[in-house]
Structure 1
Amino acid sequence: MKPDNYFRQAAFLTSAARLSQCPPDEGYEVAFAGRSNAGKSSAINVICDHRGLAKTSKTPGRTQLLNFFELDEQRRLVDLPGYGYAKVSVSIKKDWQGNLATYLDKRQCLRGLILMMDCRHPLKDFDLQMLDWSAHIGLPVHVLLTKADKLKKGPASASLQKVKSALKERDGEFSVQLFSSLKKTGIAEAHQKLNQWLEGG
């Protein structure tokens, strides 16, 4: 199967509350992370050209599990719990964070992390924590500056340059692009990065 066709074949595989419940640690995985209102589920659906794949909700923070989507027998995408707006107890949030950190640190087949940031409000505390943690464990990160349609071309470009500059000053393997689920822009660039990781590059 040609790489670009992986995504249209995406199908829900399983959900996991902890590492022990994840599928076998083999093949290639790319995980998607972001604050609860960064448009993570919408981006996954657009990238896979599958509207109902990842559940979207008008109530941010609904994704409390690691949700696995199978592209083929060797390749998966993983929707990680969103953070920032979830109306849950502190103990539950700590539990999520613990499971998330364990997954990122221990999952051998994880090839990269797609980190969503709202292009109007990038580099929030959670974003910076994810960048620091990824650098610490040697995990490459590709940033999607989502909701680019909410800004005119000039401000969107300025946001991209701001994040590019910030990433250059940090340790780690980082890249960044503009993305809009609504306008379906930036999909080819996202596919290119995903294909690189999913092919073992």
Structure 2
Amino acid sequence: RTAGSAVCAAARPWRFVNSLSRLVVDPERFPDDREEMRAVGMGAVYTHTTHRERLRTSTTGHVPLLERYFHPYAQAMTEAVDARIAATGRAVVVDVHSYPTAPLPYELHGTGPRPAICLGTDPFHTPPRLRALAEEAFAGFGSTGVDSPFAGTYVPLKHYGTDRRVTALMIEIRRDTYMAEPGGPPGPGLDALADALAELVSRL
């Protein structure tokens, strides 16, 4: 919750926070050819920035970066999910991001709708009930869409596509709902977002 938010989640969620910039590695990408963002140089190790500028060569340093940052992150996240399954019989991964009002040059699907809240789903790991709970929690934001401009959600590879005990949802928040773009201070929408997230967590 934020300082002015009136709502806390009924139960404190387990948090897994990436403290590194995605310019180091992007731990939520597939580390192989399944990753479509490799087409714009933004796979697990970026070769280009969001504005399609060259960041690093296509081969230099990839393996050391994966070994030092990507794989340990993936292992730790897998262990966290395994621990929740062992304790409760299930794990719900809620993956929170933000995105700009106007599309950036790297976006592969930037021509679609850009709602205030975009819910990224997976056909195996996002059951209808989880999506419905999120739509209800964010109903006050005027526009909630699904899989546009960003689709999918994060699930550890150990569980991906095989373990229905792991459900997942990505929440992409359009930045003008809570801050002045491109990098200005937070606005009054921040507390409302915190309240909506707390409500969703409480209902999970």
TM-score by length of 2: 0.29
Q: When you count strand as a share of all residues, which structure comes out higher? A: 1
Structure with higher Rg: it is 2
Larger RCO of the pair (alpha carbons < 8 Å, separation 6+): 2
Q: When you count helix as a share of all residues, which structure comes out higher? A: 1
